[in-house]
Amino acid sequence: MSAIVKLAEAPEKTSEDELRALENTYCSHGDTVHYTDHPKFFETCEGSYVYDATGTPFLDLQMWYSAVNFGYRNQRLNDAAHRQLDRLPQVASQYLHREKVELAALIARDAEAKFGYKGRVHFNVGGSQAIEDSLKLVRNYSGGKSLMFAFEGGYHGRTLGATAITSSYRYRRRYGHFGERAQFIEFPYHFRGPKGMSKEEYGEYCVQKFARLFESEYNGVWDPKAGKSEYAAFYIEPIQGTGGYVIPPMNFFTGLKKVLDDHGILLVVDEIQMGVYRTGKLWSVEHFGVSPDVLVFGKAITNGLNPLSGIWAREEMINPTIFPPGSTHSTFASNPMGTAVALETMKMVSEGDFGASVMEKGARFLDGLKALQKRHPIVGDVDGLGLALRMEICKPDGFTPDKATLDWMSDEGMKGDMLVDGRRHGLVLDVGGYHKNVITLAPNLMISHAEIDLALNLLDQLLTRAERR
């Protein structure tokens, strides 16, 4: 009897202990599950919560790394998936379907209205794959230039090309030299920047530090005689994601973009984590007054359902003359399930002033985080834009990073034993930051005021436990 038949004939409900034994034997540990020793099993989800087998609610403040922006099992988006499943769930990508065309047109028209450029959309499946597509697009347009700028603290994915422009060496260390590593530029992380500068002054300082690279040929990136740079593009996250939800000064990107424009360097904006209204706008770059040449999106555009990602690029970079059929491809790119849900997502957020709601909730949440900062010495910094929020956990001096305490808090939140109004709750947190000491908060964009208050209550309990342990 085959192993598949044996497994199929196994008891209907495998115990959690049995599942853990199977997982330990047969599942790769190469993903992120085993960052903790005893990963949690969840059974169901709804809205802002995931539930374990006992029915204990865990308030999720990271929503699958900002992929489920509109709540678990969002009825409207689930209905769109079911309609597509019953009509056209599969079709080979050499053919067309309505949802792909309508979604591309919607994204491109919106970008043209906001950024002033006609452009086109190219779809893929995951965020890293879309980054790879953008690298091909940039290299092709720039005549084969393979060098890129990117930020310290930036994260663009873990495929080979995406890892080369991600500043963390630990994602590259075991795999050798597989591409042109980016030159990493200082990001204006004000809390850990030079003392005595305002946030805006620090932003100007970082722009000038970058601009210095172009002062003469001996700074290594610019040939003043030819008027050409060795670098093709600068990859940015307007707000750093894995780097700890670091929010730059509002004047920073306008200064940076001028340096890029003066030297013929493209601006590629990674909106994979911050896009689709995480910051109160469709794309987070809209807050900063600059227009990208390429924009990469993914994650929340399908609310964590059938994966879909993509790039928008200016017409001269992506039209069929310069980027012909077959330039890059994935079997499941522009799949009908993903494009159908994404199209419904875009329609949903266009109804009413969705962004204003996100900004109002974000302000309420940030005020609560600031109140916690005043009560708890280990909270070194809080900040936020929309519902992209950060809380930096430090030693009692309020500045020295304390990764160990945050790791403990994350595990403690997963116990599901915090009491609120007589009911047990758990808390799902995500850890980020340069020193892995930042709680990166990405709650459900449809979170209620009562749930925000609950989140603050649970965070208060965790901080109190951490300070007393």
Tens of pLDDT along 209-257?
Answer: 999 999 999 998 999 999 999 999 999 999 999 999 999 999 999 999 9
Distance CA 349, CA 314 (A): 24
- Residue 9: its pLDDT value, please? 63
Given a cut of 90, is residue 60 above it in pLDDT?
yes
What pLDDT, on a 0 to 100 scale, did the predictor assign at position 37? Answer: 80
Please give the structure tokens belonging to residue 32: 């992120």
Residue percentage of the chain with pLDDT more than 70: 97
pLDDT tier at 376, thresholds 50, 70, 90: very high
CATH of domain 77-351: 3.40.640.10
Q: Is the pLDDT of residue 85 over 70?
A: yes
For all residues of the chain together, what is the average pLDDT?
95
| E strand or H helix at 87 | helix 75-87
| Tokens matching residue 23 | 């997982």
pLDDT at res. 32: 80
- How far is residue 132's CA from residue 44's CA, in Å, rounded to a whole number? 34
Question: Given this model, what pLDDT does residue 161 score?
Answer: 93
pLDDT for residue 180: 86
Q: Are 422 and 278 in contact (CB under 8 A)?
A: no
Angle formed by the axes of helices 75-87 and 336-349, to 10°? Answer: 150
CA-CA distance, 129 to 333, in Å (whole number)?
A: 10
Distance CA 254, CA 275 (A): 19
Is the confidence at residue 11, as pLDDT, over 60?
A: no
Write out the two tokens for 347: 């329609």
- Report, as an integer, the average pLDDT of 29-49: 90
> Which tokens sit at 213?
């690279």
Average pLDDT in the 71-94 region?
A: 97
Q: How far apart are CA 449 and CA 280, in angstroms?
A: 16
Contact in structure between 444 and 68 (CB atoms under 8 Å): yes
pLDDT, one tens digit per residue, over 390-400 is 999 999 999 99
Q: What local confidence, expressed as pLDDT, does residue 274 receive?
A: 98
Residue 12: band (very low, low, confident or very high) from pLDDT cuts 50, 70, 90: confident
Q: Are 444 and 71 in contact (CB under 8 A)?
A: yes
Q: Quickly state the pLDDT bin for 177 (edges 50, 70, 90).
A: confident
Around Cβ 292, how many Cβ atoms within 10 Å? 25
Fold of 36-65+353-468: Aspartate Aminotransferase, domain 1 (3.90.1150)
Average pLDDT of the residues in 80-108: 97
What confidence tier does 6 reach under pLDDT thresholds 50, 70, 90?
Answer: low
Average pLDDT over every residue of 185-210: 97
Residues 405, 466 contacting (CB under 8 angstroms): yes
Pairing relationship of beta strands 231-236 and 147-151 according to DSSP bridges: parallel
Q: Which two tokens stand for residue 389?
A: 């929020």
For residue 423, what are the β-bridge partners?
Answer: 420
Question: Could you state, in order of their start, the residue ranges of all structural domains in the chain?
Answer: 36-65+353-468, 77-351
Alpha carbon distance 259, 197 (integer Å): 22
- Quick check: helix, strand or coil at residue 393? strand
pLDDT for 144 beyond 80: yes
Predicted model pTM: 0.96
Greater confidence, 179 or 339?
339
Three-state DSSP at 115 gives helix
3-state secondary structure of 1: coil
In whole angstroms, what is the distance from residue 219 CA to residue 53 CA?
Answer: 59
Query: 395-427: per-residue pLDDT in tens?
Result: 999 999 999 999 999 999 999 999 999 999 999
Calculate the alpha carbon distances from 144 to 135, 193, 213, 228, 451 in Å. Answer: 10, 36, 22, 14, 50
Of the two residues 371 and 160, the one the predictor is more confident about is: 371
Other CB atoms closer than 10 Å to residue 410's CB: what's the count? 19
**Same CATH fold, 77-351 and 36-65+353-468?**
no
Distances (CA, A) of 76 to 335, 340, 346, 350, 387: 19, 12, 12, 14, 21
pLDDT at 10 over 70: no
Which pLDDT belongs to residue 75? 98
Question: Buried b vs exposed e over 104-140: b needs ≥16 C-beta within 10 Å?
Answer: bebbbeebeeebebebbbbbbbbbbbbbbbbbbbbbb
* DSSP SS3 for 396: coil
- Per the document, the length of the chain is 469
Confidence of residue 35 (pLDDT cuts 50, 70, 90): confident
Contacts of 172 (CB under 8 A, 6+ apart): 163, 164, 166, 178, 181
For the cut 70, the answer to whether the pLDDT of residue 5 exceeds it is no
Residue 167 pLDDT > 60, yes or no? yes
pLDDT in tens, 338-362: 999 999 999 999 999 999 999 999 9
Please tell me the predicted confidence (pLDDT) of residue 8: 59
Q: What is the pLDDT of residues 95-143, one digit of tens each?
A: 999 999 999 999 999 999 999 999 999 999 999 999 999 999 999 999 9
Task: Compute how many other C-beta atoms are within 10 angstroms of the C-beta atom of residue 255.
Answer: 17
